[in-house]
Chains A and B, each alone.
Chain A
Amino acid sequence: DAGVTQSPTHLIKTRGQHVTLRCSPISGHKSVSWYQQVLGQGPQFIFQYYEKEERGRGNFPDRFSARQFPNYSSELNVNALLLGDSALYLCASSRGHLLPEAFFGQGTRLTVV
């Protein structure tokens, strides 16, 4: 059974550009959460989606947005990229929105230059 898959694995963007990151959860999992992990720190919560609705949002600016599709896959969008957005973006899936057991993908390494 496939785990959480994310694409792309690596990405280089220029300041001011827009980026879309993608995630497919574990089969049977309906909740997807996004986390940002800056080098040397623990992951920081960005969003959670369940049944295509936003169920939680962390302390991130409006430049960050996300959505979930009927097949439970998800996209994270970041507009007007800043150098400080360089990080590993992690997607985690869980069975339900109040079930905290989360399983992570390998992440997308975003570098903003």
Chain B
Amino acid sequence: GESVGLHLPTLSVQEGDNSIINCAYSNSASDYFIWYKQESGKGPQFIIDIRSNMDKRQGQRVTVLLNKTVKHLSLQIAATQPGDSAVYFCAENLSGYSTLTFGKGTMLLVSP
């Protein structure tokens, strides 16, 4: 089975709310993680990444949290906008390997 998965397949929020998208990974050797946003008909867009020597990283309106103890990753989006509506994937990478392993994704729906 896949080593990366998401708890919630669909998340519906109101515009202006904060969104939290969760991801569980099973391989404790993974040391690099990326969040991607994929809009309909487009390829995945790099949002933010984090390495296993960190537990938090912030970008513009986004924050990624990594909890290695429970092998959990989350993406927080502040002041969610309708343009944030998309499918969000987390992906993991094993040190020394070039491949990314993706989970199934969470669809974020933002209502005006």
B102 contacts partner chain A, Cβ-Cβ < 8 Å:
yes
Interface residues of B (CB under 8 A from A): 2, 4, 32, 34, 36, 41-46, 49, 89, 91, 93, 96-105
Contact across chains for A97 and B44 when beta carbons are under 8 A apart: no
Q: How far is the CA of A58 from the CA of B45 in the complex (A)?
A: 22
Tally inter-chain residue pairs, CB-CB below 8 A: 67
A18 contacts partner chain B, Cβ-Cβ < 8 Å:
no
Given A42-B104, A100-B34, A101-B34, residue A48 in contact with residue B99 (CB < 8 A): yes
Enumerate chain B residues within 8 angstroms of A33, measured Cβ to Cβ.
98-100
Contact across chains for A104 and B100 when beta carbons are under 8 A apart: no
9 contacts between A and B (CB under 8 A): A6-B43, A42-B4, A42-B89, A42-B91, A55-B98, A58-B99, A90-B43, A104-B44, A106-B43
Residue on B nearest A102 in the bound complex, by CB: B100
A42-B2, A44-B102 given. 9 additional CB < 8 A pairs?
Answer: A43-B100, A90-B44, A94-B98, A100-B93, A100-B98, A100-B100, A102-B34, A104-B45, A107-B42
Given A100-B34, A106-B43, residue A42 in contact with residue B102 (CB < 8 A): yes
Contact across chains for B42 and A45 when beta carbons are under 8 A apart: no
Q: How far is the CA of A100 from the CA of B104 in the complex (A)?
A: 19
A98 contacts partner chain B, Cβ-Cβ < 8 Å:
yes
Q: How far is the CA of A99 from the CA of B104 in the complex (A)?
A: 23
Given A42-B104, A101-B34, residue A48 in contact with residue B98 (CB < 8 A): yes
B90 nearest CB across to chain A (Å) = 9
Give which listed residue, A41, A48, A103, contacts B46 with CB less than 8 A. A103
Given A90-B43, A104-B43, A104-B44, residue A45 in contact with residue B96 (CB < 8 A): no
A24 nearest CB across to chain B (Å) = 14
Enumerate chain A residues within 8 angstroms of B45, measured Cβ to Cβ.
104
Enumerate chain B residues within 8 angstroms of A43, measured Cβ to Cβ.
44, 89, 100, 102
Enumerate chain B residues within 8 angstroms of A100, measured Cβ to Cβ.
32, 34, 93, 98, 100
B75 nearest CB across to chain A (Å) = 15
